[in-house]
Amino acid sequence: MKISKTYGKTFALAALLSATAIAGAEAHVTFLDKEATAEATILATLQLPHGCDGKATTEVRVKLPEGFVFAKPQPKAGWELEVIKGDYQKSYDNHGDKVKTGAVEIRWKNGNLSDDFYDTFVIQGKVSGVEAGTSLAFPVTQICGDTVEAWDQVAKEGGDAHGMKSPAPLLKVVAGEDHGHDHDDMAGMDMTGKTGMDMSGMSGMGTAAPAGEAVKAGDLEVSGGFAKAMLPGQPVGGGFLTVKNNGQTDDRLVSVTSPAAGEVQIHEMVTKDNVMRMRQLKEGIAIAAGQTLKLEPGNLHLMFQKVKTPFKQGDTVPVTLTFEKAGKVELVLQVLSAQGK
């Protein structure tokens, strides 16, 4: 079949315009899943497709709208994390407790995401008190050294955001069949709804004591180990324990590994002036002679990265702790609820 030159040019122009439109749509900072179920805990995943005029992204700031509460960001390797807390406009129910303050802005800082690469930034939170059909705007500030891109334009009620140069990422709230389906409800099942397997039989366990029992290694006694349940699809989890040094010589927790995760990092969380900062302790943590070290929520903790199967309440997670002097200690963490109970 012979195609005329005029038709060929028209077809090529249409293809070019279509490709340009697609590229433009992908150029904005958007959510991977643009819908969120009302009264549910979700993983809001922001997609960052490029840098600023070719420059690498070094900081990402996200302002959280009213109605997206109890927010917890996912740490990223190589980035520092800050959570700015403030007052909500109203109180929200958190398992019977009335909560009036929480995270209002999340900042990933001092990173280096090349313009050649794409990445995601994840925030766990609950959509609460928001009617179905409402769109929640999450203004984002993208910083590339001395260059700043603000993705903060929001259309007026009923307006069209497609023509905006720098639209804020939106989550459209939809009604769910099971309102109140929250983190604890989801923690006991995988994506198919089936009960998750017990990880206590995974390789790497060695002769670790049963979950919850204290383990001794030289002058050290490790106890109180637990992890928190995670959402399906969530790749990062937290772990906690206590180490008591009964000897007269200082020791150091150098590293932690687990067959349940691709990597386990030791993190420090410090809150000052309503700003929470989290950073990795690459040199480990010292345990002074005669002292007790506590890894607990809101402070020092273990961060499980690239988790293979999200932790489910009632399961166990095997870990291997490596100390500078006491050597390797194998421990089993009991998975508790998302609230650590």
Q: Which two tokens stand for residue 227?
A: 């992890």
Domain assignment of residue 138, given as a range = 27-181
Whether residues 97 and 227 share a domain: the answer is no
222-265, pLDDT tens digit by residue? 999 999 998 877 788 999 999 999 999 999 999 999 999 999 99
Does the residue 217 lie in any domain?
yes
Whether residues 199 and 265 share a domain: the answer is yes
| Greatest Cα pair distance in the chain | 90
Last residue of a domain, one of 181, 208, 229: 181
Whether residues 93 and 215 share a domain: the answer is no
Average pLDDT, the chain: 82
Does the residue 199 lie in any domain?
yes
CB 199 within 8 A of CB 309: yes
197-216, pLDDT tens digit by residue? 333 333 333 345 555 678 99
Q: What is the C-alpha separation between 84 and 104, in angstroms, rounded?
A: 6
Q: What domain count does the chain have?
A: 2
The pLDDT of 110-116, averaged and rounded, is 93
CB 124 within 8 A of CB 238: no
Report which secondary-structure segment, H or E, holds 323.
strand 316-323
pTM score, whole prediction: 0.63
Q: How many secondary structure helices (H) and strands (E) does the chain include?
A: 2, 23
Does the residue 48 lie in any domain?
yes
Whether residues 89 and 205 share a domain: the answer is no
Which string of DSSP letters, residue by residue, matches 209-276? Answer: PPTT--EEETTEEEEEEEEE---TT---EEEEEEEEE-SSS-EEEEEEE-TTEEEEEEEEEEEETTEE
Buried/exposed code over 212-246 (b: 16+ C-beta within 10 A; e: otherwise): eeebebebbbbbbbbbbbbbbebbbbbbbbebbbe
pLDDT for residue 298 is more than 60 = yes
pLDDT band at 147 (very low <50, low <70, confident <90, very high): very high
Specify the pLDDT at position 135. Answer: 93
Specify the pLDDT at position 71. Answer: 94
Q: Which two tokens stand for residue 14?
A: 């249409």
Whether residues 210 and 171 share a domain: the answer is no
Q: What is the C-alpha separation between 337 and 339, in angstroms, rounded?
A: 5
121-140, pLDDT tens digit by residue? 999 999 999 999 999 999 99
Cα of 97 vs its chain's centroid, Å? 23
Last residue of a domain, one of 181, 215, 250: 181
Q: CATH number of the domain at 315, please.
A: 2.60.40.1890
Last residue of a domain, one of 181, 207, 222: 181
Q: CATH number of the domain at 159, please.
A: 2.60.40.2230
Residues 268, 273, 275, 276: what is their CA dihedral angle, to the nearest 10 degrees?
20
Residue with tokens 């399961």: 315
Q: Which two tokens stand for residue 128?
A: 């609460």
Whether residues 236 and 289 share a domain: the answer is yes
Whether residues 47 and 138 share a domain: the answer is yes
Whether residues 286 and 310 share a domain: the answer is yes
Does the residue 3 lie in any domain?
no
pLDDT band at 160 (very low <50, low <70, confident <90, very high): low
Whether residues 145 and 92 share a domain: the answer is yes
Whether residues 84 and 196 share a domain: the answer is no
5-35, pLDDT tens digit by residue? 544 454 444 444 443 433 344 578 999 899 9
Give the lowest-confidence range in 34-43, 151-160, 180-189, 323-332.
180-189
Whether residues 252 and 322 share a domain: the answer is yes
Does the residue 236 lie in any domain?
yes
pLDDT for residue 322 is more than 90 = yes
Does the residue 341 lie in any domain?
no
